[in-house]
Structure 1
Amino acid sequence: MFEEAKQKLRGSIAPIVTPFHEDYSIDYATFENLIDWHISSGTHAISVTGTTGEPSSLTVEERIRVMETAVKKINGRVPFVPGTGSTNHQETLYLTKKAQEMGADAALVIVPYYNKPSQHALYKHYKIVADSVDIPIIVYNIPGRTATNLHVDTLARLHEDCPNIIGVKESNKDFEHVNRVLLKCGRDFLLYSGIELLCYPMLAIGGAGHISATANVVPGKIADLYNTWVAGDAQKALDLHFELMELNDVLFKDTNPAPLKAALGMMGKIKPVLRLPMDLPTAELQNEIRDVLQQHVVLPDEIAAKR
Structure 2
Amino acid sequence: MSKYDEAKKKLRGSICPVVTPFKEDGSIDFETFEKLIDWQIESGSHGISVTGTSGEPSSLTTEERKQVMRHAKKAIDGRVFFAPGTGSTNHDETMELTKYAEELGADAAMVIVPYYNRPNQEALYQHFKTVADSVDIPIIIYNIPGRTAVNLEVTTMKRLVEDCPNIIGAKESNKDFEHVNRVLLYCGRDFLLYSGIELLCYPMLAIGGAGFISATANVAPAKVAALYNAWESGDVKKAQDLHFELMPLNDVLFKDTNPTVTKVALGMMGKIAPNIRMPLGVPSEAIQQEVRETLVNMELLEK
* Alpha-carbon distance, 1:279 to partner: 1.2
**Residue aligning to 2:257:** 255
- The 5 Å alignment of 1:222-237 reads 222-237=224-239
| Residue-pair matches, total | 301
Over residues 232-262 of structure 1, what are the superposed CA-to-partner deviations in whole Å (9 max), with x where a residue is unaligned?
A: 0111101110010011000001110011000
Please, which of 245, 248, 262 is the counterpart of residue 246 of structure 1? 248
CA distance in 2, matches of 1:176, 1:162: 24
Q: 78, 81, 103: which one pairs with 1:79?
A: 81
Hey, what does 2:294 align to over in structure 1? 292
The answer as to 2:176 corresponding to 1:158 is no
Task: Output the CA distance in 2 between the equivalents of 1:179 and 1:224.
Answer: 24
CA apart distance, 1:217: 0.3
TM normalised by structure 2 equals 0.99
Which of these residues, 174, 178, 181, is aligned with residue 179 of structure 1? 181
Match of 1:97 in 2: 99
- Selected match of 1:109 from 108, 111, 127: 111
Q: Is the 8 Å Cα contact of residues 67 and 99 (structure 1) preserved in structure 2?
A: yes
Aligned twin of 1:22: 24
One-letter amino acid matched to 2:228: Y
Stretches of 4+ aligned residues off by more than 6 angstroms: none
Map of 2:210 onto structure 1: 208
Q: Deviations over 1:101-142 (max 9, x none)?
A: 001000000000000000000000000000000010000000
- Does 1:31 find its partner at 2:33? yes
Verify the 8 A CA contact 1:273 1:279 in the aligned structure 2. Answer: no
CA drift of 1:162 comes to 0.2
Q: Is the 8 A contact 1:261 1:280 kept in 2?
A: no
1:186-245 alpha-carbon deviations (Å, 9 max, x no partner): 000000000000000000000000000000000011101100001001111011100100
Residue ranges of structure 1 left out of the alignment (5+ in a row) = none
- 1:139-166 Cα offsets, whole Å, 9 max, x none, are 0000000000000000011000000000
For 1:267, the aligned partner's letter is M
Q: Hey, what's the Cα distance between the residues in 1 that align with 2:41 and 2:183?
A: 30
**Aligned-pair CA distance for 1:68:** 0.3
Q: 1:273 aligns with which of 250, 272, 275?
A: 275
Q: Classify the secondary structure of the residue corresponding to 2:9.
A: helix
For 1:291 and 1:169, how far apart are their aligned partners in 2?
A: 30
Amino-acid identity (%): 71
| One-letter amino acid of the counterpart of residue 137, structure 1 | I
2:49 and 2:14 map into 1 onto residues whose CA distance is: 10
Aligned counterparts of 1:48 and 1:64: Cα–Cα separation in 2: 10
Secondary structure, aligned partner of 2:185: helix
Alignment correspondent of 2:45: 43
Paired with 2:31 and 2:297, the residues of 1 have a C-alpha distance of: 29
Hey, what's the Cα distance between the residues in 1 that align with 2:74 and 2:263? Answer: 24
1:141 aligns with 2:143: yes
2:4 maps to 1:6 = no
One of 199, 202, 206 as aligned partner of 2:201? 199
Residues in 1 aligned to 2:234 and 2:31: alpha-carbon distance in whole angstroms: 38
- 1:246 & 1:100 partners in 2: Cα distance? 38
1:83-102: per-residue Cα shift (whole Å, max 9, x none)? 00000000000000000000
1:169 aligned onto 2:175: no
TM-score using structure 1 length: 0.98
The aligned counterpart of 1:129 is 131
Matched, 1:52 2:47: no
Secondary structure of the corresponding residue to residue 169 of structure 2: strand
C-alpha distance in 1 between matches for 2:184 and 2:40: 29
Q: Measure the CA separation in 1 of the matches of 2:15 and 2:5.
A: 18
Name the Cα RMSD after superposition: 0.5
Shift of 1:185: 0.3
2:16 is matched by which residue type in structure 1? A
Query: How many angstroms does 1:280 deviate by?
Result: 1.4
